[in-house]
Structure 1
Amino acid sequence: MVDLSTSIAGVHLPNLLFNASGVCCQTTDDLKQMQDSASGSLITKSATCAQREGNPSPRYVPLPTGSINSMGLPNEGYQYYLDYAKSYDYSSPKPLFISLSGLSLAENKTMCEAFVAAKLPCVLEINFSCPNVPGKPQLGYDMEAMEAALNTLAPILRQPFGIKLPPYFDIAHFDAAAAIFNKFDDLAYVTCINSVGNGLAIDFETETALIKPKDGFGGLGGFMVLNTALANVNAFHRRLPTKKVIGVGGVTSGKEVFLHVLAGASAVQIGTTLKEEGPAVFARILKELEEIMEKKGYTSLEDFRGKVKTL
């Protein structure tokens, strides 16, 4: 038997898999499916202060090698997820992660203050990979604004928390972001990556964009982003020696989970494949991962985590 347990932000997960925020997590019914699944944890939909309908449909379309989406942060508003967190059964072996994605720093401050005041044992994750101020890049691409946000939020949280990151494509950006993250002791982990932004999928027959928002531009996910995800996981694993990395992107089977751990991930989230297959995907992929580890002679994740060889 192999041990698939792990820990993030000081909490124990019976296994390393859970949903990527944005999939199977918007309503209590969605979250009940996650609770009933074989996942090791669950995370809520990224919340804004007010409820949002999100962008017009079609806003998500599966592709032969993944998916494209421009959801527009549909969510029930942070009070909905705060109420859920208050009612959550914390005797469950699955820890609860709460994703917050304010449309401004003030929104994030308000939401963090509300969750801290509730004194709940859930883990907060701030999403820095959604558009923030109109006309500005995602917060994760604005190093000064990201550091300013952490300078504001970390003293409010005063507990282990995480941040969700967009994909970075330049070594200098890995270095700059890591230098910021290493300044904050309570920043316990980073989750990478969010979708690869602003792809365009076109129907060959109709010569039309496949999704409606943003003239068809949307985030790419699924298998096609695996290698970008692995690079980001490994880059931050190397640069954040006292923090952990949650890998997300490109997981269709146990093999990709194994690669994420090999690159340095302590836990792995599933998005597009969960959206397409439903929560039964966790049992399948855990079984595949166990078989891979047994075949390779590994008995725990620590046996190979971060141990990718280079030429």
Structure 2
Amino acid sequence: MPASLSTELLGSVFENPFMNASGVHCMYVNELDELSESKAGAFITKSSTPSERAGNPEPRYISVPLGSINSMGLPNQGFEYYLDYALQRQKKHPDSEPLFFSIAGMSIDENLSMLEKLQNSEFNGITELNLSCPNVPGKPQLAYDFELTKEILTRVFTFFKKPLGVKLPPYFDFAHFDIMAEILNGFPLAYVNCINSIGNGLFIDIDNESVVVKPKNGFGGIGGEYVKPTALANVRAFYTRLNPSIKVIGTGGIKNGKDVFEHLLCGATMVQIGTELQKEGVSIFERLESELKQVMNNKGYKTIDEFRGKLNSL
């Protein structure tokens, strides 16, 4: 009997745990449709702001040897564009798996306003509140301000009753894992997504003796193979600290089936692919499916639940 890759979140069973990372291959309707028709088990929209944004000046995304650096500045088509897509999809495919809908306002009030609109709409998918946007000049990452994070979530859950997850930046200290987990455990969250890119990295073009992205004097978020150890650490740290009802989505450094297995072993329920999806296109999901099954078959696992979260310590 071949290995099953099915995974469950919020009562929905997904064919496999693969998703795109928000920001990659999800800006326009045609890209979202390609994700829908791909081998991805689920997919998520581009993080939206209330109005359309052009984003930062180019070049703002560059592939580098072990991943990518980007300073995108939240380019998107605006909240209503993605909500219209979500509602149309629900009408056309009422029995399909839930859509993940990402929002990333430029202020607390913008986030609250979009969440209110989602709450009052017919949207029946899963919302992801992006608390980690490292690439907007002059704007700090919300999730590094613990008091403000608690305040925002307190306000959100006074009115928001639909499934909600949060996208987190990477943390690097056990004390920060502890503090953030204690805050998150106080709310009825569906999941946490670990991690967004590692903020404010710098990549150098040695021939031209220059940076490679234009915004922020070359500082940008690092993704790809560079970030996998940090991503795995954050998945593991939150999996072992959060209430079992709060699932973990693992994002960062996934290039092959072995990488997926490692995220799941650390406790992830689903995984998102960013840099490699940008490089390879939606065909990556079929390859990852085959490679993860091969890893599981070699180890004798028939289901993900047999090993999820069961990382051994020495």
TM-score, normalised relative to structure 2:
0.96
TM-align CA RMSD: 1.4
Question: Following the alignment from structure 1 to structure 2, what is the Cα–Cα distance between the partners of residues 267 and 70?
Answer: 26
**Residue in structure 2 matched with residue 203 of structure 1 by the alignment:** 205
**Residue in structure 2 matched with residue 109 of structure 1 by the alignment:** 112
User: Does the 8 Å CA contact 1:55/1:213 hold for their aligned counterparts?
Assistant: yes
| Residues matched between the structures, number | 310
| SS of alignment partner, residue 246 of structure 1 | strand
Q: How far 1:8 moved relative to its partner?
A: 2.2
Structure 2 residue 287 is the aligned partner of structure 1 residue 284:
yes
User: Does the 8 Å CA contact 1:103/1:131 hold for their aligned counterparts?
Assistant: no
Look up the equivalent residue of 1:17 and give its one-letter code.
Answer: F
Structure 2 residue 69 is the aligned partner of structure 1 residue 68:
yes
| SS of alignment partner, residue 239 of structure 1 | coil
User: Does the 8 Å CA contact 2:71/2:135 hold for their aligned counterparts?
Assistant: no
Give 1:50-65 correspondences, 5 Å limit.
50-65=51-66
Runs (4+) of structure 1 exceeding 3 A deviation are: 89-94, 131-136
Question: Following the alignment from structure 1 to structure 2, what is the Cα–Cα distance between the partners of residues 280 and 271?
Answer: 13
**Residue in structure 2 matched with residue 125 of structure 1 by the alignment:** 128
Look up the equivalent residue of 1:178 and give its one-letter code.
Answer: A
Question: Following the alignment from structure 2 to structure 1, what is the Cα–Cα distance between the partners of residues 150 and 27?
Answer: 29
User: Does the 8 Å CA contact 1:178/1:239 hold for their aligned counterparts?
Assistant: yes
**Residue in structure 2 matched with residue 268 of structure 1 by the alignment:** 271
Taking a change above 3 Å as real, the CA distance of residues 131 and 284 of structure 1, as seen in their structure-2 partners, is closer
**Residue in structure 2 matched with residue 83 of structure 1 by the alignment:** 84
TM-score, normalised relative to structure 1:
0.97
Question: Following the alignment from structure 2 to structure 1, what is the Cα–Cα distance between the partners of residues 239 and 211?
Answer: 37
Note the residue ranges of structure 2 that are not aligned, 5 or more in a row.
Answer: none
Q: How far 1:134 moved relative to its partner?
A: 7.5
| SS of alignment partner, residue 197 of structure 1 | strand
- In the alignment, which of 216, 232, 248 is matched to residue 230 of structure 1? 232
Question: Following the alignment from structure 1 to structure 2, what is the Cα–Cα distance between the partners of residues 202 and 233?
Answer: 30
User: Does the 8 Å CA contact 1:14/1:93 hold for their aligned counterparts?
Assistant: no
Give 1:43-54 correspondences, 5 Å limit.
43-54=44-55
Note the residue ranges of structure 1 that are not aligned, 5 or more in a row.
Answer: none
Q: How far 1:94 moved relative to its partner?
A: 3.3
